[in-house]
Amino acid sequence: MPLLLTYENTVRKEVFSLVNLKKTSEKNLEFTDRDNEHIVYYYEGTGNGQSGNNNKLIERTNLGYTVYYYERLDNKKGMNFSKQIETANSYGFKTFNTLSNKFFSAIAVFDYDVEKITDNANEENVYSDVKALIELGYKKIRPPKRKGGSLGRWTWGIETFKRYWNNDEVLIKNYKSIIKKELVNVSDIITIGSKNYIEIVNVLPIKNLFLNTQDNTEKTKLATNNDLSKDAKKNSNEGEMLKYFIKALNDKSMLVLEAFNTGVVGESILELNSEDGGNRNFIIVKDTDESIEGSKSSCEIEKERIRTVGDKIVSERHIEGINLDIGFRVLKLDTSNFEPVYYTAECTPQDKLDGLTQNIKKDRTPEDLLFEIMLDLGITLSSEIKFTCVAGKKVFYVGGDNLIACFDSEITKDVVAEIAKKKPKYAVFCDSSFKRDDIKVSFEQIFETYSKATKRKVI
């Protein structure tokens, strides 16, 4: 069973600057005006090359093209590059020139015989140089060879290389290394000493862990027989290994994603948090909710397993004054809670309007509405949610007083005023919930009195 972990980390890359290269067009071989030039900032990204055992040309025979590269870094004024420009354009590649009289040209060509590619083939037998480019001064750059000298391959396809080159996003070093230039906004640059840097957040995958456990179907059958303790025992090695990798990342506030429907990540996170006081969170993703042989669905089984582990942690590791968080929230994707007219009123025929006085679907609960509103407002779905009764009406509090919402019917001025006095960032009500039209009219006035800054929304 594979488990895939991802982890975010921040790396610092040095930023370089250069005068934007002047591009020559296919129609006009003259260089562009210097007014079109500006400073470009970039850092060195990934290279166009494969390493290790997966870079055999024989496995991807379309990735063995040759890059013919030409550069002049000490041009004398008036040097003529018209032949290089015309040749590059005929292949669909642009050439570049700078104010400091540096000229660059690269052309990628399939110059090899696919039929001759074997595990032991050498370059001389497979490739044929393009003599016309060599005579113009181009030097050939071929894929890095594998250990032992056998033929390797590039990472990028030839069209990808062409697109990067024509967009001025390729850096070629020493007629050997081909590197992607990642352009940087000036506002993102930080200066330390005499150098410029950019900080990049990477989502790093930890390699799939192929753990020696029984197949998911067997594990789920065990759980349907209410043999959760036995099932947990069989998962103990798996969970311990997972806890080891998570703990090794040394981040007690990390978020772990599980996309393989096992529930093991949830159990491991709860246990690890209880052991070291961490505040890690987890997300479990499922794309189906099928039941097994008429029994509980796999989602229900996973929820039971996590609840069982949580209850066990509380009973075994209860420490006075410490509140162990063993809760989790289950959300299911569905269509909008609102009838189509809520979004497309202008497309609704006039004779249909009488039947659409309610813009909310009949089978939706206040909790359904709340979560859609949270998504609309950009509030995280893991935010703390509480509710209380105000004048007999159910009022939701999300993230403290970040969002206060009430979807009950026949809301009075007292309810609106009580919510306004809390001074929330957002306040949400249903259009049909106000007891009388005069309450709806005075709704804005009440908030102007008690909390002008609150953003009000009526759905």
Q: What is the pLDDT of residue 291?
A: 53
Q: What is the pLDDT of residue 295?
A: 62
One domain, residues 301 and 435: no
- The pLDDT mean for the chain works out to 78
Q: Does residue 154 lie in a domain region?
A: yes
Q: Look at residues 117, 118, 63, 109 and name the one whose alpha carbon lies nearest to residue 87.
A: 109
Q: How far is CA 447 from CA 168, 245, 349, 379, 435, in A?
A: 54, 51, 35, 22, 17
Q: What is the pLDDT of residue 405?
A: 93
Sheet holding 22-23, edge to edge: 22-23, 95-97, 103-109, 66-72, 139-141
Question: pLDDT-based confidence at 16, cuts 50/70/90?
Answer: confident
One domain, residues 228 and 195: no
pLDDT, mean of residues 367-380: 90
Out of 75-79, 175-179, 255-259, 267-271, give the one with best mean pLDDT. Answer: 175-179
CB atoms within 10 A of CB 109: 17
Q: What is the pLDDT of residue 78?
A: 63
Residue 44 backbone zone (phi > 0: left; psi -120 to 50: alpha; other: beta): beta
Which tokens sit at 12?
């610092």
DSSP, collapsed to helix, strand or coil, labels residue 444 as helix
Which residues of 370-449 form beta strands (DSSP E)? Answer: 385-390, 393-398, 403-406, 426-429
Q: What is the pLDDT of residue 30?
A: 37
Which tokens sit at 303?
């929820």
One domain, residues 303 and 355: no
Q: Does residue 254 lie in a domain region?
A: yes
Question: Judging by beta carbons within 10 Å of its beta carbon (0-12, 13-18, 19+), is residue 329 exposed, middle or buried?
Answer: exposed
One domain, residues 403 and 371: yes
* 346 vs 439, more confident: 439
Global pTM reads 0.46
Q: What is the pLDDT of residue 341?
A: 58
One domain, residues 262 and 288: yes
- pLDDT tens-digit map of 296-305: 677 777 788 8
Question: On the CB side of 301, how many CA atoms lie within 13 Å of its CA?
Answer: 30
Judge contact between 456 and 443, C-beta under 8 A: yes
* Residue 400 in this model has a pLDDT that exceeds 80: yes
CB atoms within 10 A of CB 177: 14
Q: What is the pLDDT of residue 277?
A: 82
Q: What is the pLDDT of residue 27?
A: 40
One domain, residues 47 and 193: yes
Among 178, 200, 222, give the residue marking a domain's end. 200
Q: What is the pLDDT of residue 427?
A: 93
One domain, residues 191 and 291: no
One domain, residues 296 and 350: no
One domain, residues 266 and 290: yes
Q: Does residue 6 lie in a domain region?
A: no
- pLDDT tens-digit map of 138-149: 999 999 888 777
Give the range among 269-273, 325-329, 402-406 with minimum mean pLDDT: 325-329
Q: Look at residues 284, 267, 273 and name the one whose alpha carbon lies nearest to residue 251.
A: 273
Q: What is the pLDDT of residue 205?
A: 57
One domain, residues 189 and 226: no
* Residue 227 in this model has a pLDDT that exceeds 70: no
Question: pLDDT-based confidence at 68, cuts 50/70/90?
Answer: very high
Judge contact between 237 and 211, C-beta under 8 A: yes
Among 200, 228, 262, give the residue marking a domain's end. 200
One domain, residues 375 and 426: yes
Q: Does residue 307 lie in a domain region?
A: yes
One domain, residues 47 and 108: yes
- Domains in the chain: how many in total? 3
**CA–CA separation, 395 vs 414, rounded Å?**
13
- pLDDT tens-digit map of 167-222: 889 999 989 899 999 988 888 899 888 899 998 876 655 544 444 444 444 443 43
pLDDT, mean of residues 276-288: 81
Q: Does residue 252 lie in a domain region?
A: yes
* 260 vs 158, more confident: 158
* 5 vs 422, more confident: 422
Q: Does residue 4 lie in a domain region?
A: no
Q: Does residue 324 lie in a domain region?
A: no
Residue with tokens 């209880």: 274
Full residue range of the structural domain in which residue 287 is found: 211-317
* 8 vs 378, more confident: 378
* Residue 58 in this model has a pLDDT that exceeds 50: yes
Q: How far is CA 244 from CA 241, 269, 306, 425, in A?
A: 5, 11, 19, 41
Share of the chain above pLDDT 70, in %: 74
- pLDDT tens-digit map of 18-38: 655 455 444 433 333 334 445
- pLDDT tens-digit map of 407-446: 988 888 889 999 999 999 999 998 877 777 777 778 888 9
Give residues with Cβ within 8 angstroms of 337, minimum separation 6.
360, 361, 364, 368, 369, 372
Q: Does residue 232 lie in a domain region?
A: yes
**CA–CA separation, 96 vs 76, rounded Å?**
16
Q: How far is CA 299 from CA 113, 194, 268, 288, 333, in A?
A: 54, 55, 17, 8, 14
Strand partners, 171: 179
Among 272, 302, 317, give the residue marking a domain's end. 317
